[in-house]
Amino acid sequence: MEARIQECQDEIEKCDEQIPALKKNQKSFKSDLDKANAALESKKSEISTFLNRFVRDFESFKTLQSRLSDIVLDENDQAKLTSKMETFSERKNELERKKVQYETEKMNVSNKEQKVRILKDQLNKKVLQEDVATLNGELMELQEKIEELAGIEKQVGYFLVVLKKIRLL
């Protein structure tokens, strides 16, 4: 029996140890519930506002529809309206054609600008290649002159050695 009592007391201690964590979880859940309730109230308010606007707009639509049904166009007004609609359609088609033409011209200009950039780059490359070729040619000429001077310097050195020998004699 005492073993059973001890077992129950151990179980009670374990449960008592879990109480702070459970209270913390309870607070967290309550906080989450409060946030969810606040979000729900906000959504309810949004829905209510939407419904009010919808009802108002529907009433406006019904009023407008009744006004439009009261308006009867005579044949002259219908002809004018048809003429204006045709003019509008023609103008719209003309503007769409001009838009397509403008887009085509814009694309052509862009392509030409790209070609100009490419040609300019090619020209710059060609000029640089010519400059490099000219400089390489001048460098080769200078190297040849240096080699000639080296040959002359050797001959002068040899000549000086010969002169010294002649003077020594």
Residue by residue, pLDDT tens for the chain (169 residues) are: 888 888 888 888 887 788 787 788 788 888 888 888 888 888 888 888 888 888 898 888 888 877 776 666 667 777 888 899 999 999 999 999 999 999 999 899 989 999 999 999 899 999 999 989 899 999 999 999 999 998 888 989 888 888 888 877 6
Asked if residue 3 is part of any domain, the answer here is yes
Asked if residue 167 is part of any domain, the answer here is no
Residues of the domain holding 41: 1-71
Asked if residue 27 is part of any domain, the answer here is yes
Report the pLDDT value the prediction gives residue 36, as an integer from 0 to 100: 83
Q: What is the value of pTM for the model shown?
A: 0.36
Asked if residue 7 is part of any domain, the answer here is yes
Whole-angstrom Cα distance, residue 158 to residue 164?
Answer: 10
Asked if residue 61 is part of any domain, the answer here is yes
- Cβ neighbours of 101 (radius 10 Å): 10
Asked if residue 108 is part of any domain, the answer here is no
Report the pLDDT value the prediction gives residue 26, as an integer from 0 to 100: 82
What 3-state class would DSSP assign to 70? helix
Report the pLDDT value the prediction gives residue 65, as an integer from 0 to 100: 79
Task: Quote the Cα angle for 56-61-65, to 5°.
Answer: 150
- Count of the separate structural domains present in the chain: 1
Task: Quote the Cα angle for 105-110-112, to 5°.
Answer: 95
Asked if residue 1 is part of any domain, the answer here is yes
Asked if residue 147 is part of any domain, the answer here is no
